[in-house]
């Protein structure tokens, strides 16, 4: 009699296997292997275990090259041109290719490598990823001559393979594997950095090279970069990182000093090094030069004033908090904390600043500057949050009067409604009437939302009169009246 299999066993593989004998398991596995080529491939990987196969990088490359060579580059290029387009009037370009066509060639190899990774077969993983990178770089070179725009699709797969190699190197504890991977990264950094992006390769190396021994391997693998007089940003970052890990602080400092003005992130580790060496004068000198450079960049290059530069200034100024002495450098501390709050906009930075002020007038002067600064930055929310902390209800009312369009309008009203009920009520009336100025049904839910918030203000009679006026004045706007009824605004 067959054994009864319950849901409990189906949901638990170990319990389910316990219901079968070895013959049943073997027969079932045999059936699966005959039915699925993918299952046979997965089982072969499982049986291989951590021992690498006889296949070489070249063996894998030949298979990948065959698939890449079968791509119709002209058709693929046309697919690239149409990628992301919207089609109207029933028109749609017919093609066997799309943006996934290139990925579809690399993906099976990535999946196989992941299965080898599960078996801790790191050597096989590296061979597969190197084969993908090598063949896709070769193909990129070929297409770049005639179909330059296609390059990005091939380089995208290369970058994915780089990230996968990093996973392998971080997971493996074998020195041989780490050495092979690091040497390969360094080779790509110097030979293909302009194609892949040196920064991309450097980011992966940074994650892998974390010890003195690994730094030695990387430095031994880098030849061209070490001899350059002028370094690119990624090159100076990599060498500074490696020399620091190696303990060659003279070379670390030399490279950092020579390159930090063109590669500002170098300054952070340099400042930390100076602090460790108790070189305060050098800290202040370098930090000042870096901040001056950041200020120039902000004023002359709107592209540079993005998140990376902002975060860098925040990190520098937070570091400086650990350097200044409150007894002797009060002005410097205050200036740094004020600048930190301006760039970060974090309330915690503001709270720290106001604890430092010795006189009340200093805070009041700063609040005036703060309001002007963040108004110019169109950041009313930060001004409101600060005024809320300081319980400056009149200043919040002024914000409401000037900035009714702000999404924090209801929050600002709720903060001062008990102190200024009539003023808040009138502001809501203006805001709602502005929303209803045009017969736009998209604004009706928003108007109803603000009416519901308005209802919380202690002006019951005025609120009823206003609702009645709205129903009368806009009686022909049936969708608006429906919205009022739906919200119970009668």
pLDDT tens, position by position, 9-22 = 556 676 666 666 66
Residues 111 and 231 in one domain: no
Give the domain extent around 475.
Answer: 391-490
> Which candidate, 238, 242, 230, 226, places its Cα nearest to that of 199?
238
- pLDDT score of 477 more than 80: yes
137 and 17 inside one domain? no
* One domain, residues 395 and 474: yes
Give the model's pLDDT for residue 92: 44
Tokens representing 355 are 């604890």
**pLDDT tens across 422-470, in order?**
999 999 999 999 999 998 999 999 999 999 999 999 888 999 999 999 9
pLDDT reading at 229 higher than 60: yes
Same domain, 20 and 131: no
Residue of higher predicted confidence among 268 and 89: 268
Q: Confidence class of residue 235 from pLDDT cuts 50, 70 and 90?
A: very high
Domain endpoint, select from 142, 172, 202: 172
Tell me if 411 sits within 8 A of 424, measured CB to CB: no
Cα separation, 88 vs 170, whole angstroms: 49
CA–CA–CA angle 422, 426, 430 (5° rounding)? 170
Mean pLDDT of 258-266: 95
Angle between helices 444-454 and 421-435 (to 10 degrees): 170
Question: With bands split at pLDDT 50, 70 and 90, how would you rate the model's confidence at 308?
Answer: confident
Q: What is the pLDDT of residue 306?
A: 55
Pair (112, 218) in one structural domain:
no
Q: Tell me which residue of 89, 96, 45, 52 sits closest to 70, measured CA to CA.
A: 96
Residue 4: is its pLDDT beyond 80? no
What integer is the mean pLDDT of 239-255?
96
Residue 451 forms part of a structural domain: yes
**Contacts for 436 with CB less than 8 Å, ≥ 6 apart:** 443, 447, 470, 474, 477, 480
Compute the average pLDDT of residues 200-219: 96
Residue 152 lies in a domain: yes
Question: Does residue 281 sit within a domain?
Answer: no
In a domain, 336, yes or no: no
Has residue 475 been placed in a domain? yes
Last residue of some domain: 204, 235, 259? 259
pLDDT given for residue 89 in this prediction: 39
Q: Which position has the higher pLDDT, 13 or 309?
A: 309
Decide if 382 is inside a domain.
no
Q: Report the number of distinct structural domains present in the chain.
A: 4
Do 482 and 438 fall into the same domain?
yes
**Domain membership flag for residue 82:** no
d(CA 108, CA 89): 37
Residues 425 and 488 in one domain: yes
Instruction: Answer yes or no: are the C-beta atoms of 271 and 286 closer than 8 Å.
Output: yes
**Domain-terminating residue out of 259, 280, 302:** 259
Same domain, 105 and 51: yes
CA–CA gap between residue 56 and residue 52 (Å, rounded): 10
Are residues 67 and 142 both part of a single domain?
Answer: yes
How confident is the model at residue 474, as a pLDDT?
Answer: 92
Do 434 and 483 share a domain, yes or no? yes
pLDDT at 95 exceeding the cut of 80: no
Q: For residue 489, what pLDDT band results from cuts at 50, 70 and 90? A: confident
Q: Which helix (H) or strand (E) holds 419?
A: none
**59 lies in the same domain as 161:** yes
Burial (CB count within 10 angstroms: exposed 0-12, middle 13-18, buried 19+), residue 156: middle
70 vs 23, residue with greater confidence: 70
**423 in helix, strand or coil?**
helix
Q: What is the pLDDT of residues 41-84, one digit of tens each?
A: 555 555 455 667 888 999 999 999 999 999 888 888 888 877 65
Q: Based on the fold, state whether residues 162 and 196 are members of the same structural domain.
A: no
Q: What is the mean pLDDT of the chain?
A: 87
Burial of 408 (0-12, 13-18, 19+ CB in 10 A): middle
Q: What percent of the chain has pLDDT over 70?
A: 84
Q: What is the mean pLDDT of residues 19-39?
A: 61
- 285-306 residue pLDDT tens: 999 999 999 988 655 444 344 5
Q: Which of 85-99, 224-238, 280-294, 437-451 has the lowest mean pLDDT?
A: 85-99
On whether residue 159 sits in a domain, the answer given is: yes
């Amino acid at each position: 009699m067959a054994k009864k299999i319950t849901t409990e066993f189906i949901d638990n593989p170990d319990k389910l296997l316990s219901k079968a004998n070895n013959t049943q398991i073997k027969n079932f596995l045999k059936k699966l292997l005959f039915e699925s080529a993918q299952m046979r491939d997965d089982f072969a990987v499982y049986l291989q275990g951590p021992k690498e196969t006889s296949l070489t990088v070249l063996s894998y490359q030949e298979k990948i090259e065959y698939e890449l060579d079968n791509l119709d580059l002209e058709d693929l290029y046309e697919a690239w041109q149409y990628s992301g387009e919207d089609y109207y009037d029933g028109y749609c370009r017919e093609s066997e290719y799309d943006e996934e066509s290139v990925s579809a060639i690399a993906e099976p190899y990535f999946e196989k490598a992941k299965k080898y990774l599960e078996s801790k077969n790191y050597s096989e993983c590296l061979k597969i990823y190197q084969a993908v990178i090598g063949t896709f770089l070769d193909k990129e070179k070929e297409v770049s001559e005639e179909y330059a725009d296609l390059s990005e699709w091939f380089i995208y797969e290369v970058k994915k393979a780089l990230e996968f190699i990093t996973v392998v190197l971080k997971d493996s504890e074998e020195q041989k594997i780490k050495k092979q991977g690091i040497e390969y990264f360094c080779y790509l950094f110097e030979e293909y950095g302009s194609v892949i992006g040196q920064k991309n390769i450097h980011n992966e190396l940074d994650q892998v090279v974390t010890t003195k021994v690994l730094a030695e391997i990387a430095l031994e693998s880098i030849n061209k970069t070490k001899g350059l007089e002028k370094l690119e940003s990624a090159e100076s970052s990599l060498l500074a990182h490696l020399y620091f890990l190696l303990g060659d602080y003279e070379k670390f400092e030399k490279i950092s000093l020579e390159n930090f003005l063109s590669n500002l992130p170098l300054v952070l580790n340099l400042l930390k090094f100076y602090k460790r060496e108790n070189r305060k004068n050098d800290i202040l000198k370098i930090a000042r030069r870096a901040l001056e450079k950041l200020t120039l960049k902000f004023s002359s290059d709107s592209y540079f004033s993005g998140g990376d530069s902002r975060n860098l200034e925040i990190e520098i100024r937070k570091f400086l908090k650990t350097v200044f002495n409150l007894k002797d450098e009060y002005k410097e501390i205050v200036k740094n904390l004020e600048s930190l709050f301006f760039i970060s906009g974090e309330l915690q930075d503001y709270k720290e600043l106001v604890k430092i002020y010795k006189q009340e007038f200093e805070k009041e002067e700063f609040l005036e500057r703060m309001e002007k600064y963040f108004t110019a930055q169109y950041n009313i929310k930060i001004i409101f949050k600060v005024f809320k902390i300081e319980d400056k209800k009149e200043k919040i009312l002024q914000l409401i009067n000037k900035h009714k369009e702000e999404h924090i309008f209801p929050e600002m009203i709720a903060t001062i409604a008990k102190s200024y009920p009539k003023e808040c009520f009138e502001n809501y009336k203006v805001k709602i009437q502005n929303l209803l100025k045009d017969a736009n049904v998209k604004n009706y839910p928003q108007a109803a939302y603000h009416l519901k918030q308005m209802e919380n203000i202690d002006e019951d009679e005025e609120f009823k009169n206003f609702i009645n006026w709205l129903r009368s004045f806009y009686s022909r706007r049936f969708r608006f009246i429906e919205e009022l009824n739906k919200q119970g605004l009668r």
